[in-house]
Amino acid sequence: MNSIGIPNQERYLQLSPTTSYCFLSVFGLLFIAIGLLVGAFWLNMLCLPAIVVLAMAFYRFFYIRLTLYILTAETLKIRTGIFSYTLVTLELYRVKDYVIKQNLIMRILKIMTLTLFTTDKQDVVIALNGIPQSNLNDTIRDLVQRARAKSKIIEIN
């Protein structure tokens, strides 16, 4: 087993949010920090809020960037955190539906958000934010069908 809980011989796909998505996520905070720094030219007490907002932006950037989505044949694992981490595991046979979202900027940058709707009690909606645009939805659909066949799960509406 490696450090993220996957047997070494098992094949898996590892994704993380792109750097451009991370930058888009903190753009508002960076804009505020720059505004405060410009204001600090005339009013020195704005330096401290600017530094705090800038620190928040860096923390959020790295928190998003260090998120890992690990897709194996039977599970989807989501690892989040910087100093300590949380590992959420979803059995793929629980995936019921999925939606791909892309706004105009995401289409230009070729990134997407894949939202999975599940029958899991704790994590009903799982979003894979800012991943590179791909045919991941088809891969997940195939893996879900295989996991259901292997577990002999029949979906009843």
For the entire predicted model, the pTM comes to 0.82
Domains of the chain: 14-151 (2.30.29)
What are phi and psi for residue 114, nearest 5 degrees?
A: -105, 115
C-alpha–C-alpha distance, residues 121 and 141, integer Å: 21
Evaluate if residue 154 carries a pLDDT over 80.
no
Percent of the chain with pLDDT over 70: 91
Reported as type and span, the H/E element at residue 33 is helix 19-39
Q: Do the beta carbons of residue 77 and residue 151 sit within 8 Å?
A: no
Nearest to 134 by CA among 115, 116, 112: 112
For residue range 7-46, list pLDDT tens digits in order: 555 678 899 999 999 999 999 999 999 999 999 888 888 8
C-alpha–C-alpha distance, residues 48 and 55, integer Å: 11
